[in-house]
Amino acid sequence: MKHAHPLPNSFEDALKMASAILGTSPFLVEQGLVETESEQIVIAAFRQASGRGRSFGRNDLYVRVMDVYPPSAGEKLVVMANRRAHGEPLQYLIGYQYFLNHEYEVDANVLIPRPETEILVFEATQTFKRQFEQPKLGIEIGVGSGCVSIELLKLFPSLRMVATEVSEGAAIIAERNALKILGSEFSDRLIVERANTPDEIFEPLERKSYDRGPRADFIISNPPYLASSEEVDSGVSQHEPKSALFAPAEDPLYFYRRIVEGAEAFIRPQGFIFFECPHERMSQIAGLFGSDWNVEVMNDLTGRPRVLRAEWRGILVLN
């Protein structure tokens, strides 16, 4: 098999080759990403070719910089670097993304975890730490890669999470991440239920009688909220799953409204809803809550409103 680029002989050659290919992308050059992404591609190609997994990292790269770089890794490197130079997301090419304290497997079935969502986890965590008791049961609507539920499960040992997900591919990735990060605790502490359509995000919970068993302490979600008419970075819109980006029926509030309307069947009094929200629609989303809810908004690191926390002050009426 012939390549436009000769294959690298050493890890040093591999770094130079990756940098040369990525350097053809004006975007990567302007953003100053060529060096760091070259390192990640060299490492990922070696991991994939050698089966080393997480046992080979950046420190290993520079310890072995003069060692032989396997031809099979070189072939993967050339393909990955060229695809990245043409705009494919790095995380899908290397197969993972770091979120808070862990490495999450990602592919084109899931939205790439973002720093803004770390704030959602942080605010939920701070809320629970102020409570008299740790949370016992939480619900996530739209589990994606699983990063939100899994981080909360790592932080709160007594917590169980039930998550719903429309995408079968995303549900599989979430379960794999849970197995990797939670280990043997996985089957007991995270349950992913499939919803057939966006209209049915609560249906799996009703089917399994979560609305009639012990009530959840909270619902957490970072739902799709874009309309197709909105401008979106081409690297995002062309490669990340549309079902995780765009709200149904051209209604950016669709999932927020459905969750607010359905929440009282599943959470306890003084339970919470946590949303990650687009800052430009925060006031509209806050307006979905009635007088039985105490709503607070928290800003992200840029000072923009990003996370909404709502506490249900209603009374549970038993039939």
pTM of the model: 0.89
pLDDT tens-place string over residues 126-137:
999 998 788 999
The number of C-alpha atoms within 13 Å of 110 and in the hemisphere containing its C-beta is 31
Instruction: Spell out the domains of the chain, with CATH numbers in brackets.
Output: 11-94 (1.10.8), 109-312 (3.40.50.150)
Confidence (pLDDT) at 249: 65
Show Cβ contacts of residue 37 under 8 Å, excluding neighbours closer than 6 positions. 18, 22, 28, 84, 90
Residues facing 160 on adjacent strands = 137
pLDDT, one tens digit per residue, over 39-52 is 999 999 999 898 76
pLDDT of 86: 92
Q: What is the pLDDT of residues 142-192, one digit of tens each?
A: 999 999 999 999 999 999 999 999 999 999 999 999 999 998 767 679 999
Tokens of 24: 């053809």
Evaluate whether 10 touches 68 at the Cβ level (below 8 Å): yes
Among 180, 258, 191, 194, smallest CA distance to 224 is for 258
Cα 94 to Cα 54, 107, 156, 176, 299, distances in angstroms: 12, 9, 30, 16, 31
Residue 1 predicted with pLDDT over 60: no
Whole-angstrom Cα distance, residue 284 to residue 157? Answer: 35
- Supply the pLDDT for residue 242: 61
Are 46 and 106 in contact, with CB atoms under 8 Å apart? no
d(CA 2, CA 79): 12
d(CA 292, CA 35): 52
Residue 214 has what pLDDT? Answer: 81
Which whole number is the average pLDDT over 256-283?
Answer: 94
How do residues 206-242 score in pLDDT, each as one tens digit? 877 666 678 999 999 999 876 666 665 656 556 566 6
Mean pLDDT score across all residues of the chain? 87
